[in-house]
């Protein structure tokens, strides 16, 4: 008997099994923990990808909108240049008709060569009728096209603003990238973005989507200022710009900036023949003739000019602008040659114009005819008002959009979905096979407060961030346990020329992802990133 007991006491067989069971348990928990952590990292990457994709897609919409404004503004300028060219043809045709045409009228009576001058007279008259007819048809058409382009600009602005403001307008970028991701409620107002009515654009909501829409419109010349809490009843500035098509005053700075800017741009792209004239002697738009005899000197100059002019509202009751073209002849004489100054002895003007003063009119000397059509003037268009005041805070005039997404990871969240993530070890959270085997040295009041119990292993997201921490509890309630945010930015970039000021006349806008910390919406970031306030002194500046 004692021999058997001594043998059993010396027998070591079976100890490896006990150790193996313990090691296998630890290994299984380690593997399951590693898989759970890896799966959580994967879910975070997917959520961040969804936020980045959404922010970038919104930046693409902004860049496309700005490029559309640039293309349409350039089209308007081309139309104005075409109008000026047509007016130049009209004034030149009037000049030919009143000079060479009049001379041909009498020279055709000369025997032998009269038929040639008769043909010249008829050709000039036919050309004058043709260009006048074209001007009557083309200028109203181009004016109507410009108005249509302006309305398209306003529609593009409104549609893009809606896409930025409402999550419904964001498309399916988030769902396609991460089906479990969702747009969280606003961090300050707790308003759900998806339920924000479009009418609240005119009020004072404080959600991120509202800030994105305002930031998009902020770069517009008539857009909302960042120092103003709301976007007002005219967020895009359309009502202000619309005054340009009705009665307006050049003394009104809001109207003058449009009339003078677009007029200057249109005048700047004129062809040389349109702007100042050129051509052969007698039949060209610009030429000169000079003759010196013993008793004096004669000079005949033919000059030309075509441009868009803006008049003061008191000038002949003309409250708008004028398409103007002139072909003028001036005769100067002076005694001797190159000694005394010139004296003008004769001047004759051949001019054509279209404006609001009784319509298209022609002018030959002091005779004027008003028998064509009116021109309503410069059409409204959109311009950029970028600012380099405190560029770190104001993004060098570039708009940003902030996207905040959450994902239900099984954390405590009112109305949240049950977690669908595997390997959470929920059984070890709710049960412990070694419960009561220890000395309960870890069952302190603080651990109990934090939900930590001896012999329990909680690997779920239920208390992510800490149970006692109020910020963590708020985070879990709003996001479901996981959050990602990203900032998209529409930037203006001409290769190798970064210093060029952003504008709506060159379609050089592109989309970029930007660091979150550069976003100007500090109220939201203070909640999202508690460390923001610690570094806020780096970004202090003037809101404009």
**Positive/negative CA dihedral, 78, 80, 82, 88:** negative
Q: Which residue has the higher pLDDT, 441 or 90?
A: 90
- Annotate 331-357 with b (16+ C-beta within 10 A) or e (fewer): bbebeeeeeeeeeeeeeebbbbbbbbb
Average pLDDT over residues 338-362: 82
Confidence of residue 523 (pLDDT cuts 50, 70, 90): low
How far apart are alpha carbons 228 and 221 in whole angstroms? 15
- Phi and psi, residue 295, nearest 5°: -85, -15
- Annotate 171-180 with b (16+ C-beta within 10 A) or e (fewer): eebbeebbeb
Least trusted range by pLDDT, from 33-42, 380-389, 427-436: 427-436
Residue 313 has pLDDT above 60, yes or no: yes
Q: Comparing C-alpha atoms, which of 254, 234, 220 is closest to residue 66?
A: 220
Q: Are 395 and 520 in contact (CB under 8 A)?
A: yes
How far apart are alpha carbons 289 and 299 in whole angstroms? 6
pLDDT at 544: 34
Residue 391 has pLDDT above 60, yes or no: no
- DSSP designation for 481: E
Q: Comparing C-alpha atoms, which of 229, 112, 163, 197 is closest to residue 401?
A: 163
pLDDT at 541: 47
Q: Give percent of the chain with pLDDT exceeding 90.
A: 30
Residue 519 has pLDDT above 80, yes or no: no
Q: How far is CA 211 from the centre of its chain?
A: 15
Supply 450's token pair: 């934090």
Average pLDDT over residues 53-58: 91
pLDDT at 515: 81
pLDDT at 155: 94
Residue 25 has pLDDT above 60, yes or no: yes
pLDDT at 124: 94
3-class DSSP assignment, residue 348: strand
Average pLDDT over residues 200-224: 76
Q: Which residue has the higher pLDDT, 393 or 477?
A: 477
pLDDT at 90: 92
pLDDT at 172: 80
How far apart are alpha carbons 56 and 342 in whole angstroms? 67
pLDDT at 8: 59
- How is the beta sheet containing 287-292 ordered, strand by strand? 287-292, 296-310, 321-335, 343-354, 361-364, 367-370
Supply 397's token pair: 């005039």
Supply 490's token pair: 């529409």
How far apart are alpha carbons 325 and 330 in whole angstroms? 16
Most confident of 73-77, 210-214, 257-261: 73-77
Supply 238's token pair: 């359309």
Q: Are 481 and 409 in contact (CB under 8 A)?
A: yes
Q: Which residue has the higher pLDDT, 403 or 294?
A: 403
Confidence of residue 474 (pLDDT cuts 50, 70, 90): confident
DSSP 365-434: TTEEEE-S-----PPP---B----SSHHHHGGG--EEEEEEEEE-S-S-TTPPPP--S---HHHHH--TT
Contacts (Cβ under 8 Å, ≥6 apart) of 41:
none
**Positive/negative CA dihedral, 154, 157, 163, 164:** negative
Q: Are 142 and 82 in contact (CB under 8 A)?
A: yes
Please compute, for residue 37, the number of CA atoms within 13 A of its CA located in the half-sphere on the CB side: 6
Residue 7 has pLDDT above 70, yes or no: no
Q: Which residue has the higher pLDDT, 155 or 433?
A: 155
Q: Comparing C-alpha atoms, which of 132, 87, 127, 95 is closest to residue 352?
A: 87
Residue 148 has pLDDT above 90, yes or no: yes
Q: What is the chain's length?
A: 544
pLDDT at 274: 93
The pLDDT mean for the chain works out to: 80
pLDDT at 542: 40
How far apart are alpha carbons 242 and 14 in whole angstroms? 93
How far apart are alpha carbons 46 and 279 in whole angstroms? 68
- DSSP designation for 358: S
pLDDT at 75: 96
pLDDT at 122: 95
Going by their DSSP bridges, the two strands 343-354 and 509-514 should be labelled as unpaired
pLDDT at 146: 95
Residue 149 has pLDDT above 90, yes or no: yes
């Amino acid at each position: 008997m004692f021999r058997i007991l001594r043998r059993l006491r010396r027998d070591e067989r079976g100890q490896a099994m006990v150790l193996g069971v313990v090691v296998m348990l630890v290994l299984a928990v380690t593997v399951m923990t590693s898989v759970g952590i890896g799966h959580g990292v994967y879910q975070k990457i997917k959520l961040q990808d969804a936020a980045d994709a959404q922010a970038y897609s919104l930046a693409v919409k902004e860049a496309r909108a700005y490029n559309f404004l640039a293309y349409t503004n350039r089209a308007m300028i081309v139309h104005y240049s075409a109008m000026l060219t047509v007016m130049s043809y009209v004034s030149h045709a009037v000049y030919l008709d009143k000079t060479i045409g009049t001379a041909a009228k009498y020279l055709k009576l000369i025997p032998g060569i009269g038929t040639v001058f008769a043909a010249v007279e008829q050709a000039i008259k036919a050309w004058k009728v043709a260009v006048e007819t074209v001007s009557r048809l083309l200028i109203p058409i181009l004016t109507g096209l410009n108005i249509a382009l302006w309305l398209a600009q306003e529609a593009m602005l409104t549609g893009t603003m809606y896409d930025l403001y409402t999550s419904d307008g964001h498309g399916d970028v988030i769902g396609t990238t991460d089906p479990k991701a969702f747009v969280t409620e606003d961090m300050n107002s707790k308003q759900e973005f998806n339920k924000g009515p479009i009418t609240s654009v005119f009020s004072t909501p404080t959600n991120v989507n509202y800030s994105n829409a305002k930031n998009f419109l902020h770069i517009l010349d008539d857009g909302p200022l960042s120092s103003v809490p709301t976007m007002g009843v005219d967020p895009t500035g359309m009502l202000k710009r619309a005054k340009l098509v009705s009665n307006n005053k050049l003394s009104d700075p809001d109207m003058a900036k449009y009339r003078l800017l677009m007029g200057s741009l249109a005048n700047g792209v004129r062809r040389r023949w349109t702007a100042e004239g050129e051509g052969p002697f007698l039949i060209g738009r610009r030429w000169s003739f000079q003759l010196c005899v013993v008793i004096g000197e004669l000079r005949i100059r033919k000059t030309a000019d075509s441009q868009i002019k803006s008049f003061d509202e008191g000038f002949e009751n003309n409250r708008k602008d004028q398409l103007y073209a002139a072909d003028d002849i001036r005769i100067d004489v002076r005694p001797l040659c190159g000694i005394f100054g010139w004296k003008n002895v004769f001047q004759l003007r051949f001019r054509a114009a279209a404006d609001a003063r009784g319509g298209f009119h022609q002018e030959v000397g002091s005779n004027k005819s008003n028998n064509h059509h009116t021109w309503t003037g410069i059409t409204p268009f959109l311009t950029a008002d970028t600012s380099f005041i405190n560029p770190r805070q104001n993004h060098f005039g570039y708009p940003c959009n902030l996207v905040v997404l959450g994902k239900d990871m099984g954390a405590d969240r009112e109305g949240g979905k049950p977690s669908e993530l595997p390997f959470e070890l929920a059984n070890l959270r709710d049960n412990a096979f070694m419960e009561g085997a220890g000395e309960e040295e870890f069952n302190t009041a603080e651990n109990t407060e934090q939900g930590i119990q001896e012999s329990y292993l909680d690997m779920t997201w239920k208390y992510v961030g800490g149970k006692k921490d109020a910020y963590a509890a708020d985070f879990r309630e709003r996001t479901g346990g996981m959050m990602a945010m990203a900032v998209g930015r529409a930037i203006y970039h001409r290769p190798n020329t970064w210093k060029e000021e952003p504008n709506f006349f060159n379609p050089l806008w592109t989309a970029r992802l930007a660091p979150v910390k550069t976003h100007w919406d500090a109220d939201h970031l203070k909640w999202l990133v508690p460390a923001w306030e610690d570094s806020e002194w780096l970004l202090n500046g003037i809101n404009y």
